[in-house]
Structures are given as C-alpha cells and as structure tokens.
Amino acid sequence: MSKEKSQWAWVLYVMFIVTTTGFAQQAIDTPGNILVNGAFTGGTTGWSFRSAAKTGMMAVDTAVMHANRPSVRVDNIDYDLCSLSQKVMVKPNTHYRMTVFIRTKDADPEKRGAKHGGSMSILGGYVMTPPVTGTKVWTRVMREFDTGNETEIEIGLNLGYYYAKVKGTAWFADASLVDGGKAHSRK
C-alpha cells in the first residue's frame, strides 16, 4: 500500500473511532451552556433533588458513564415523581434549547398507556422533552422554547412528570441549556 493510501486509511480509521465511541456526541463543553455542572463532573453541585413520594433515590454513577463522564442515576423503587433541578437566570423574550442524554431501565408509568419516563423540562409548566420510557440506551432529547417575560426558570431532569408517576431507573448526562437568540415571532 502506498504511503498516501496508508495515511488516508489511518484518517478514516480515526474518524470511525471518533464517531462510534461517543466522542462526536454533544459534550459538556457545549458553547454557551448556562447550566452549572451539566456534565456532573462535580457530582451534583448546583442541583437539588426531590422525590414526591419519598421513595426515589439519586446518586452520581461512575459505572454507567456517558462520553467518559459520570451520569446521575435516579431510582424509583415504587411509583414516584423525582426531579433533579436547577434554577437558572434567563433573558426575557429569548429562544433557548435544552438538551440532555437519558438512558432508562424498566421506566414504567403507573398509568397504562401513559407516555412518561425520563425527561427534561421547565418545572411549573408543560415545556418538556420527549420522554424516554422502557429500557433504552443513551438517547439524546431536546426541546426548544421561548421565555416570554420570564427572567428565571427551573430546569428539571425528571423520572415521572406531574401526576404521572414512574417506577424504574433513569440516568442523565450532559445536560445543557443554550441561548438561541431573539424569541421566534408567532404569526
């Protein structure tokens, strides 16, 4: 094989490794991320945990990593609504994008047919990413929204949502909230 072909083969090999091992996935260094410790490399610093029925538990998990960084695991041993949350200052009338990677094991909603599991949301409202249910590998979920007149919001990483209790486990990693500029006009 010629030297040039060998070099190209090496480049293609490196590109393959990068795209299949998670290094190409959205990382903690998301430009403009306004969440504190969204990658949980500092444990749960900046985050608060709530369990509505007091049966849910939360822990940093270094055994289930995402892109070589720890995740946060939420275990609901019984049907519960748990949330890991953070209050964030936002600009009014601004467009934002919230993103997180979620992995689940046996995330089962209490009400049959309900579509709730692991999600990211603005607490106190109905802005939520698509939920990750059942048993799923790392799944990137995202939701864009406009702030209206709000200057502070509370972001939640949830297992369950409002009155939809869920049993099972969800892992969260690489959470981000990014300013997307002026709010989109509605016509």
List the pLDDT tens digit at each of the 187 positions of the chain: 565 555 554 444 434 433 333 333 344 557 899 999 999 999 999 999 999 999 999 999 999 999 999 999 999 999 999 999 999 999 999 999 999 999 999 999 998 877 889 999 999 988 999 999 999 999 999 999 999 999 999 999 999 988 789 999 999 999 999 999 898 766 4
Q: Which residues contact 6 (CB under 8 A, 6 or more apart)?
A: none
Domain total for the chain?
1
Residue 18 included in any domain? no
Residue 16 included in any domain? no
* CATH code for the domain in which residue 131 is found: 2.60.120.260
Q: What is the H or E stretch that residue 13 is in?
A: helix 3-20
Residue 83 included in any domain? yes
Residue type, 145: F
Q: Which residues contact 19 (CB under 8 A, 6 or more apart)?
A: none
Residue numbers of the domain that contains 117: 30-182
Residue 25 included in any domain? no
Residue 21 included in any domain? no
Q: Tell me if the pTM is above 0.85.
A: no
Under a CB-based contact definition with an 8 Å cutoff, are residues 97 and 142 in contact? Answer: yes
- Angle formed at CA 59 by CA 58 and CA 65, multiple of 5 degrees: 125
Under a CB-based contact definition with an 8 Å cutoff, are residues 167 and 25 in contact? Answer: no
Determine if residue 168 is left, alpha or beta; phi over 0 gives left, psi from -120 to 50 gives alpha, anything else beta. Answer: left
* pLDDT score recorded for residue 25: 39
